[in-house]
Amino acid sequence: GQQVMQIPQYQHVQEGEDFTTYCNSSTTLSNIQWYKQRPGGHPVFLIQLVKSGEVKKQKRLTFQFGEAKKNSSLHITATQTTDVGTYFCAGERDNYGQNFVFGPGTRLSVLP
Amino acid sequence: EPEVTQTPSHQVTQMGQEVILRCVPISNHLYFYWYRQILGQKVEFLVSFYNNEISEKSEIFDDQFSVERPDGSNFTLKIRSTKLEDSAMYFCAIPQLAGGSNEQFFGPGTRLTVL
């Protein structure tokens, strides 16, 4: 079946440093979504990427979808303590309807 | 943004007992998902439900699980005979098309503890 992988599993950064998490799917995706989950909270939608090579920005967050639509990345510039949480990618399979497979997540810690 | 509530927030049960978890979208939705998240692990898809029928289900969603829309608004996830490994957070999610994105709004979750 489809697998979605993320690296790194954990990342500890000093406040102000940049952070990147990478997401890879074993199969081509129709689209990919990114979610943030704060400790003890529920996943919160951040963005959806649909087009090959698409790049979207949300303030300090930059999301990219690979040309082959099998990988994606999330980059945070100048991290803040409010960025703490686990970042999940979720890939929707090609032509399989609305079934998202979540990656294992990258847990980000930001040290003040 | 659609609002989703889930009840109970925490359920403690004995192994072998049945549990019913509820999801209540504030506005009328025909499509919803159930996900499971074992503590510290990833979010796992269980089932999608559209217009009173299961649309898709994962390997996790075996005969012990069932979903219903008993009264036209609430959505329920039933686990017939709970096992220790069923202990997890259970989230329902409502998809909504917004600005071209098919984003999912997650409820706050129910923490299920099986003893």
Instruction: Give tens-digit pLDDT for B59-79.
Output: 899 999 999 887 777 889 999
pLDDT at A26: 92
Instruction: Give tens-digit pLDDT for A44-57.
Output: 999 999 999 999 99
pLDDT at B97: 65
* Contact assignment for A100 to B105 by CB distance below 8 Å: no
pLDDT at A95: 52
User: Is pLDDT of B30 > 70?
Assistant: yes
CATH number of B4-114: 2.60.40.10
* Contact assignment for B107 to A31 by CB distance below 8 Å: no
Q: Give B108 or A92, the one with higher predicted confidence.
A: B108
Instruction: Give tens-digit pLDDT for A21-40.
Output: 999 999 999 999 999 999 99
CA distance B17 to A2: 33
CA distance A42 to B90: 10
Residues of chain B with C-beta less than 8 angstroms from the C-beta of A97: 48, 55-56
Q: Do the domain assignments include residue A9?
A: no
Q: Where are the domains of chain B?
A: 4-114
| CATH value at residue A35 | 2.60.40.10
Confidence band (pLDDT; 50, 70, 90) for B3?
Answer: confident
Q: In degrees rounded to 5, what are phi and psi of residue B14? A: -85, 145
pLDDT at A94: 61
Count: domains in chain A: 1
Q: Do the domain assignments include residue A7?
A: no
What residues of B are in the A interface, CB distance below 8 Å? 31, 33, 35, 41-45, 48, 55-56, 58-59, 91, 93, 95, 100-109
DSSP H or E stretch at residue B9? none
In the block, residue with structure tokens 């945070």? A76
Strand order in the sheet with B65-68: B4-7, B19-25, B75-79, B65-68
* Contact assignment for B103 to A105 by CB distance below 8 Å: no
DSSP H or E stretch at residue A105? none
User: Is pLDDT of B8 > 90?
Assistant: yes
Q: How many CB pairs under 8 A join A and B?
A: 61
Q: Do the domain assignments include residue A27?
A: yes
* Contact assignment for A90 to B43 by CB distance below 8 Å: yes
Q: Do the domain assignments include residue A106?
A: yes
pLDDT at A111: 94
Instruction: Give tens-digit pLDDT for B75-114.
Output: 899 999 999 999 999 999 988 766 666 788 899 999 999 9
Q: Do the domain assignments include residue A74?
A: yes
Q: Percent of chain B at pLDDT above 90? A: 57
Q: Domain containing A40: what range?
A: 18-111
- The mean pLDDT of chain A is 93
C-alpha dist (Å) from residue A95 to A68, A92, B113: 16, 9, 36
- The mean pLDDT of chain B is 88
CB-CB: which of B31, B43, B48 is closest to A99? B48
Q: Do the domain assignments include residue A1?
A: no
